[in-house]
Chains A and B, each alone.
Chain A
Amino acid sequence: MNSHSICLAVCQQELKQKVKNKSVWIMFALLQLLLAISLATSWQQFKQSHTTQETSQAIVEQQWVAQPDRHPHRVAHFGHFAFREPSVLSYFDIGINNWVGHSVFLEAHKQNSANFANDDNTSELLRFSELSVANILLVIWPMLLITMAFATISGEKEQGTLKKILAMGVSFPKILTGKIFAYLIISVSFILPIFIATALLGSFFQLSFTSDTAMRIGLLFALYLAYCLFWIVIILCCSSLSASSKVSLSTLITFWFIGIILAPRVLTDVAQSMHPTQTRYAFINAVKTDVKKVGNGHNPQDPYFKAFKEKVLAKYNVKNVADLPVNYRGLVMKEGERVTAEIYQRHYKKQLDAFQAQQDFLRNFYWFTPLLATQHISMALTASNNKHFFDFEMQAEQHRYDRIQQLNNIHIEEINFAHDRDEKASAELWKTFPSFHYQQPSLKQSLEPYLSSAAIFTFTLTALIFGLFSSFLKRRVYVSA
């Protein structure tokens, strides 16, 4: 027999065995059913949330345009809303979407955070996160792989068949290769249907399905296949090295528990305690204090705004604010907004840096918990991680700033300083404001921060494969067979 046919024979034999096993079929079918149910409900929720955000955005845009003649500063306090439509693939991996708000109220002088998350009160149910497609593939599927394959080598050792095969001159790496392919075929047949369903749902029912989305689905498939391969290699390693199937099983379950259940949550908690963020209260207070330090635009004696006034007077070469060709109050508003926004951004960035530090801390453990790396890349690909959420908050803040400054410009140019409060700007002007559309990041933007993570994951996987085919492991097997 040549080497290819040996691999093929081993692979076929392994598959035949699994196909014959009734309990494997039952588990397989049950999990497929679970995947289907999960995809269907997630899809429904995705559609619903999509409609809610879209109609809400349309309503507020209409409310904005429908405003009568008004003083621009009134309009600035009337404000606007920014809604975040769920990311295109969030029905595959919901990520953090249930935990964060999807709408921001945009008003003058004040930056609000996104509010109204879906899952305010269900943390008890979500100790293991949602039963999303991604989570089933990440947490449950490895367990089924373990139950199918833990005895694949150790069992043959126990029955003595391994000794016979090796005695026939079949090389051990050939057996391993055959087995890897067998379990890869099983994995593909497990994950492929759900990926096809995901792609079909997306392409048939979604207008925003682009080549970008198709690429994302393709990469997701590759990612989850790599994740399966990771587990297959781990299982084969463990099964080869273990003295008995019993030891192999208990080792693998321990690894599954520590790597998937225990380590991620412990590490995330440790990360948070090492790089704590400010509480909402402290954050708001810090911004307020800093804004107060700069000055108060309403106080004529305030040093900052006194200097500002002199600068403006000098620029227009007049002695009194009343003589300015523009509205001085509008100028103060504009300057005040600029100062507050800057201070807010500075503090907000500090928070983001702390989150980033937590993330970087977790990255140190990617080699150890396959779940974390895969999960983070998966959330990046489905645009449902916290980076995408913060991106939404930043776009909303940028939109708020532009909108308010446009109103301040109207205040400066259209409103007469002398009887400021009695004047109104024409309702026609409200139609000139661009509406808010959340710009979904491109695939490149989504993935860029995770390239090093992907590299670590690939490196770990390669190292494991080398370990599996190493002469050390081979020797151990020959000795114990």
Chain B
Amino acid sequence: MLALKYEFKRLFSGTVYNISILVFLLSGLLAIHLGGESFNRIQQAQQQSIIAFDKQTAQLKLAPKLPEMGSIAYYATAPTTWQLNGWAALFKGQSQNNLTSMSVNALALQGQIYNKEFINPDKHRAGGFDLGFVLAYMLPLLIGVLSINLLSDEKQSGRWSLLSSFPGNAAQQMIIRLLGLRFALVSLLVIILFSYAAISLSLPIDYQFTTLLFLSILYCLFWFVVATIILSLNKGNLINTLLFISTWLVFAILIPGTIHLAMSEKFNHNAPLKASTQQRMVLNDGWDQDKHQALTEFSQLYPEFSEKLTFEGRFHWKWYYAMQHLSDLSVAHHWSAHTENIYSKERWLNKVSWLSPNLSFQRLLNKSANTNSLSHLEYLKQVESYHTEIREFIYPYLFNDTPVTVEDVDKFPRFEARQVTLTTTSMNYLPHGLFFLILIVLLTGWVKLRFKKLAVC
């Protein structure tokens, strides 16, 4: 007990140590605070979009004579929301540059779905700051600062050689004890950050919470093992520091950067542009072509309306919306190419992100917070099916020329925000956890061998 107290005192006596711990802790707290703020803004904006739509609907109902459904649907841009939970405040992922509340109307979806959030592009360039950054990229450096020079310091002070002369492996045990102490300290810091996050964002202490906390501590353990490997090389302070920082540079910056270079060579992203330029031509040519033919084409998809295709005059809403839908279909292959592109990018990234523990940990965090690109795509698909719901709601009014009543306005479909649940099963965390665990076991074995050698010399 006394020894432990002494070691603690020693640990907190170094200025560099204290500053590093303080910077880390403050950064983590600030990240949680800023993340909470931006998450609140997202939620407020989502609520406001719903309130605005409610107001619009209420106003519409007050009109002495309700307009026809075609006109109502033209102006009704109905809100949808990307249902995010508090974890999105900590691991922001895609939730910053994408629309978290996208409004759609019954016109062609392809003209609406590629819109993006207004954001200062400089922020992207800077890389963004969230708890995910603090954990995946800063934490390893803190671990390095705390542990990389343990052995060489002990050698300098003479403790190592003194203990080495004792029988057994007292010297080795001392180093392991010191490392254990630092591991406990870092774990405590992580627990503090998680608890603060849980309190300030009112996250439930559930399976997800404990798994993420556990994985973060496992991630710490991994970096402690890396640090131990470097210190067991017995190379002296300067080389140790340089080796550790180089390892960090390679894992944190160079490998992800190289993956990005390779990815932008490998995948092209022209599908959305093609879709929108092509759709414009289809839509516009539609006005010059035979309207009844377009309606006939449409009726093959919706045979229930095939008896009601004729209309008089130059324009009818049913033709208008039929054409909008046909234009969506004409570029559907671009849309599916786009989504397939995202899937294959993800699959490819899953394969290569093992090269960098920081990257795979970061991806794991975003995945668990449902803010990765797959979750975003899932949201877009929800929007797509909602759009279909709206379309199919208005068709009977258009084709039957049904006048709209106040009750009908209330029946207008509303978007049901559903949590995207891609990843909450335990199986999804398993490969990552196992990977780190196996790596840790292998590396620890190697470290043990090194230590034996050290004790001999």
Contacts from A to B (Cβ < 8 Å): 34, 37-38, 41, 44-45, 52, 56, 59-60, 63, 68, 74, 77-79, 81, 95-96, 98-101, 103, 105, 113, 115-131, 135, 139-140, 143, 147, 151, 245-246, 249-250, 253-254, 257-258, 261-262, 264-273, 276-283, 285, 351, 355, 358-359, 362, 375, 379, 385-386, 389, 421
A258 touches B101 (CB 8 A): no
A131 / chain B contacts, CB cutoff of 8 Å:
253-254, 257-258, 260-261
- B210 close to A (CB within 8 Å): no
Partner of A99, one of B79, B125, B280: B125
Contacts known (A56-B273, A279-B101, A285-B52); A63 close to B281, Cβ less than 8 A: yes
Q: Can you list 27 pairs linking A and B with CB atoms under 8 Å apart?
A: A41-B265, A44-B265, A45-B265, A63-B281, A99-B121, A101-B116, A115-B272, A122-B260, A124-B93, A124-B359, A125-B359, A127-B362, A129-B126, A131-B258, A139-B253, A140-B253, A249-B241, A253-B245, A254-B16, A254-B19, A269-B126, A272-B123, A280-B99, A280-B115, A280-B116, A359-B122, A386-B121
In whole angstroms, what is the CA distance A264 to B120 when docked?
Answer: 14
Return B211 CB to nearest CB of chain A, in Å.
Answer: 19
Tell me, in angstroms, the Cα distance from A28 to B98 when the chains sit together. 40
Inter-chain CA distance A431–B277, complex, in Å, is 20
Asked whether B45 is an interface residue with its Cβ less than 8 Å from the other chain, the reply is yes
Which of B33-41, B189-197, B395-403 contacts the other chain? B33-41
Contact A279 B276 (CB under 8 A): no
Flag B82-112 by CB within 8 Å of A: 1 or 0 each: 0000000000011011110111000000000
Q: How far is the CB of B280 from chain A (nearest CB, A)?
A: 7
- Please tell me if the beta carbons of A278 and B127 are within 8 angstroms of each other in the complex: no
B280 and A140 form a contact (CB under 8 A): no
Which residue of B has the minimal Cβ distance to A48? B268
The CA-CA distance from A249 to B245 in the complex, in Å, is 11
Residues of A with C-beta under 8 A to B129: 265-266, 268-269
A120:B97 contact, CB within 8 angstroms:
yes
Is the CB–CB distance between A116 and B128 below 8 Å? no
Determine whether the beta carbon of B117 is less than 8 Å from that of A279. yes
Question: Cβ of B116 and Cβ of A115 under 8 Å apart?
Answer: yes
Residue in A closest to B141 when the chains form the complex, CB atoms: A257
Q: A79-B280, A139-B253, A355-B122 are in contact. List 19 more A-B contacts (CB 8 A).
A: A52-B273, A78-B280, A98-B124, A100-B121, A115-B272, A116-B114, A124-B93, A124-B362, A125-B259, A127-B252, A131-B257, A140-B249, A265-B129, A268-B126, A277-B119, A279-B117, A280-B99, A385-B122, A386-B122
User: Which residues of the other chain, B, contact A379 by a CB distance below 8 angstroms?
Assistant: 125
CA distance A182 to B287 in the complex (A): 72
Q: How large is the interface on B (under 10, 10 to 19, 20 to 34, 35 or more residues)?
A: 35 or more
CB nearest to A101 among chain B residues: B116
Contacts of A271 in B (CB 8 A): 120
Whole-angstrom CA separation of A143 from B247 in the bound complex: 13
CB distance from B125 to the nearest CB of A (A): 5
Rounded to whole Å, the gap between the CB of A379 and the closest CB of chain B is 8
On chain A, the residues within 8 Å of B141 by CB distance are 257
* Cα distance A389–B121 in the bound complex, in angstroms: 9
Query: Is B117 a contact of A280 with CB atoms below 8 Å?
Result: yes
Given A262-B27, A282-B45, A282-B48, are A127 and B133 neighbors across the interface (CB < 8 Å)?
A: yes
**Interface readout for B237-260 with A: 1 if CB under 8 Å, 0 if not?**
110011001000100111011111
**CB-CB < 8 A to A273: which residues of B?**
34, 37-38
Which residue of chain A has the shortest Cβ distance to B241 in the bound complex?
Answer: A249
A139 to B276, CA, bound (A): 38
Does B363 belong to the interface (CB within 8 Å)? Answer: yes
The chain B residue sitting closest to A253, CB to CB, is: B245
* Residue from A34, A125, A128 whose CB has the most chain B CB atoms within 10 Å: A125
